[in-house]
Amino acid sequence: MRKLASFSYLKSNRATKARVKISPDAKFLAGKLLGAESDRRREFYADAIVNDLCESAGVPACHVSIQNRPQAHRKNSRGVLRIKTLGHYTPRSATIVVFNKTAIQHKVVAGKTFLRCLIHEFIHHYDYHKLHINSLHTAGFYQRVKGVYDALTHSG
């Protein structure tokens, strides 16, 4: 098991770019998503973006579910936020879940944070199907997230 984890870590860290061609449609949808606040609109745009990315990357489709509730979180013994979960990916069902409300104040998550979380979870899906690894939070993983996010949000 340790060898498999080490292999996944090294492969994840070496892969600094996701092989995904960002379409004009995906960029347009990302712009719409950044301005959306309702869970239904966000789910519509997020699902369309992820479907576009999956098709471009040659990975199976992935379902997106936006939960209109606060992020799962834990506080320390003094009641201070210690950890929060903005979203998660489940490989077995190929499902991305993103929470639409902040952990403590229950406000709508900012558009950029929401899109970054969506792309973060998509890269877990990409890693699982394209790189054939257990997706780990390595430097390479975060470079793949940043590359896709930047390509979606910058013109040119």
Mean local confidence (pLDDT), 33-43? 97
Mean local confidence (pLDDT), 93-103? 95
Structure confidence at residue 62 (pLDDT): 97
Strands (E), the chain: 63-70, 72-75, 81-85, 87-90, 95-101
Tokens of 132: 């054939």
As a whole number of angstroms, the distance between CA 17 and CA 78 comes to 41
**pLDDT higher for 72 or 94?**
94
pLDDT surpasses 70 at 5 = no
pLDDT surpasses 90 at 27 = yes
Structure confidence at residue 72 (pLDDT): 72
As a whole number of angstroms, the distance between CA 21 and CA 106 comes to 35
132 — phi, psi (to 5°)? Answer: 55, 50
pLDDT surpasses 80 at 71 = no
As a whole number of angstroms, the distance between CA 54 and CA 138 comes to 21
Domains of the chain: 20-146 (3.30.2010)
